[in-house]
Amino acid sequence: METGIVSYGAYVPRYRITPEEIGKVWGVDGKAMGKGLMISSKSIPGPDEDTITISVEAARNMLKRVSIDPQDIGAIYVGSESHPYAVKPSGTIVAEAIEASPELTVADFEFACKAGTAAIQTCMGLVGSGHIKYGVAIGADTSQGAPGDPLEYSASAGGAAYLIGAEKIIARINHMYSYTTDTPDFWRREGQMYPSHGGRFTGEPAYFKHILSCAKGMLAKAGTAPKDYAHAIFHQPNGKFPTRVAKQLGFSEAQIKVGLVVPQIGNTYSGAVPIGLAAILDEAKPGDRIFAVAYGSGAGSDAFDITVTDEIKDFARDKAPTVKQLIENPKFLDYAHYAKFRGKITLGRG
Amino acid sequence: MRKVAVIGVGDTKFGELWDASFRDIGIRAGLSAVEDANISADKIDAVFVGNMSAGRFIEQEHIGALIADYSGLARDHIPATRIEAAGASGGLALRQGYMAIASGLHDIVVVGGAEKMMDVSDVASALIQSSAADQEWETELGATFPSLHALIARRHMHEFGTTREQLADVAVKNHRHGSMNPKAQFQKEITRETVTGSPMVASPLRVFDCAPSSDGAAAVVLCPLDQAKKYTETPVEIIGTGQASDTLALHHRRDILTFDATRVAAERAFKMAGVTQNDVDVAEVHDNFTISEILAVEDLGFFKKGEGGKATSDGRTSLDGDVAVNTSGGLKARGDPIGATGLAQAVEIVAQLRGKAGKRQVKDANIGLTHNVGGTGATAVVHVFRRV
State pLDDT tens for residues A296-341. Answer: 999 999 999 999 999 999 999 999 999 999 999 999 999 999 999 9
Same domain, A255 and A137: no
Whether residues A199 and B18 touch (CB distance < 8 A) is answered with no
The pLDDT of residue B74: 87
Residue span of the structural domain in which A206 resides:
174-312
Substitution target in A151, A200, A207 with the highest count of B β-carbons within 10 Å is A200
Task: Mark whether A110 is an active-site residue.
Answer: no
pLDDT at A349 > cutoff 80? no
Helices (H), chain A: 19-26, 30-37, 51-64, 91-97, 115-128, 209-222, 240-249, 253-257, 262-265, 272-281, 323-327, 335-341
Query: Is some CB atom of chain A closer than 8 A to the CB atom of B198?
Result: no
- B121 interaction partners in chain A (CB closer than 8 Å): 198-199
Q: Is residue A10 part of a domain?
A: yes
Same domain, A25 and A103: yes
Same domain, A187 and A289: yes
Query: Is some CB atom of chain A closer than 8 A to the CB atom of B16?
Result: yes
A49, A57, A113, A214: which is the annotated catalytic residue?
A113
Same domain, A63 and A186: no
| Alpha carbon separation from B7 to B43, B222, B328, B369 (Å, rounded) | 13, 6, 20, 17
What letters, b where the CB count within 10 A reaches 16 and e where it falls short, cover A8-24? Answer: bbbbbbebbbbbbbbbe
Contacting residues for B98 by C-beta, under 8 A, at least 6 apart: B4, B222, B238, B241, B383
| Other Cβ atoms closer than 10 A to A283 | 15
Q: Is residue A52 part of a domain?
A: yes
Same domain, A138 and A11: yes
pTM of the model: 0.88
Whether residues B18 and A29 touch (CB distance < 8 A) is answered with no
Cα–Cα distance between B260 and B246 in angstroms, integer? 7
Whether residues A29 and B118 touch (CB distance < 8 A) is answered with no
Query: Is some CB atom of chain A closer than 8 A to the CB atom of B118?
Result: yes
Residue B68 Cα, gap to closest chain A Cα (Å): 29
> What is the average per-residue pLDDT within A165-192?
96
Tell me yes or no: is domain B4-121+214-228 CATH 3.30.1360.70: no
> Whole-number mean pLDDT of chain A?
96
Same domain, A58 and A191: no
The pLDDT of residue A280: 98
**A314: burial class by Cβ within 10 Å (0-12, 13-18, 19+)?**
exposed
Same domain, A124 and A254: no
Residue B121 Cα, gap to closest chain A Cα (Å): 7
Read off the pLDDT of residues A67-95 as tens digits, 9 standing for 90 and up: 999 999 999 999 999 999 999 999 999 99
Same domain, A210 and A276: yes
pLDDT at A23 > cutoff 90? yes
Q: Is residue A349 part of a domain?
A: no
pLDDT at A350 > cutoff 70? no
Tally C-beta pairs within 8 A across A and B.
13
Q: Is residue A262 part of a domain?
A: yes
- B19 interaction partners in chain A (CB closer than 8 Å): 205
Substitution target in A201, A207, A208 with the highest count of B β-carbons within 10 Å is A201
First to last CA, chain A: 61
> Which residue in the set A199, A204, A205 is minimally distant from B122, CB to CB?
A199
Same domain, A30 and A119: yes
Task: Mark whether A214 is an active-site residue.
Answer: no
Same domain, A133 and A264: no
Residue A299 preceded by cis peptide, ω within 30: yes
A49, A57, A81, A152: which is the annotated catalytic residue?
A81
Task: Evaluate whether B353 touches B5 at the Cβ level (below 8 Å).
Answer: no
pLDDT at A348 > cutoff 90? no
Helix (H) or strand (E) holding B273: helix B260-273
Same domain, A296 and A337: no
**How many structural domains is chain A composed of?**
2
Cα–Cα distance between A257 and A239 in angstroms, integer? 11
Residues in chain B: 388
Whether residues B19 and A205 touch (CB distance < 8 A) is answered with yes
- A199 interaction partners in chain B (CB closer than 8 Å): 121-122
Q: Is residue A158 part of a domain?
A: yes
Shortest CA distance to A201 belongs to which of B235, B120, B333? B120
Task: Mark whether A210 is an active-site residue.
Answer: no
> What is the average per-residue pLDDT within A265-288?
98
The pLDDT of residue B349: 98
Q: Is residue A200 part of a domain?
A: yes
3-state secondary structure at position A31: helix
Read off the pLDDT of residues A219-258 as tens digits, 9 standing for 90 and up: 999 999 999 999 999 999 999 999 999 999 999 999 999 9
Task: Evaluate whether A13 touches A170 at the Cβ level (below 8 Å).
Answer: no
Residue B313 Cα, gap to closest chain A Cα (Å): 29
The boundaries of every CATH 3.40.47.10 domain in chain B are 4-121+214-228, 128-211+239-387
> Which residue in the set A29, A32, A204 is minimally distant from B18, CB to CB?
A204
Q: What CATH number does the domain containing A201 carry?
A: 3.40.47.10
Shortest CA distance from A198: residue in chain B: B121
> Which residue in the set A29, A200, A204 is minimally distant from B199, CB to CB?
A29
Same domain, A144 and A269: no
- B199 interaction partners in chain A (CB closer than 8 Å): 29, 32
Instruction: Give me the residues of chain B with pLDDT under 50, please.
Output: none
Whether residues B121 and A205 touch (CB distance < 8 A) is answered with no
pLDDT at A1 > cutoff 80? no
Tell me yes or no: is domain B128-211+239-387 CATH 3.40.47.10: yes
> What is the average per-residue pLDDT within A22-38?
94
Residue A32 Cα, gap to closest chain B Cα (Å): 9
Whether residues B18 and A32 touch (CB distance < 8 A) is answered with no
Shortest CA distance from B198: residue in chain A: A32
The pLDDT of residue A346: 84
- A151 interaction partners in chain B (CB closer than 8 Å): none
Query: Is some CB atom of chain A closer than 8 A to the CB atom of B121?
Result: yes
Q: Is residue A348 part of a domain?
A: no
The pLDDT of residue A74: 98
The pLDDT of residue A127: 98
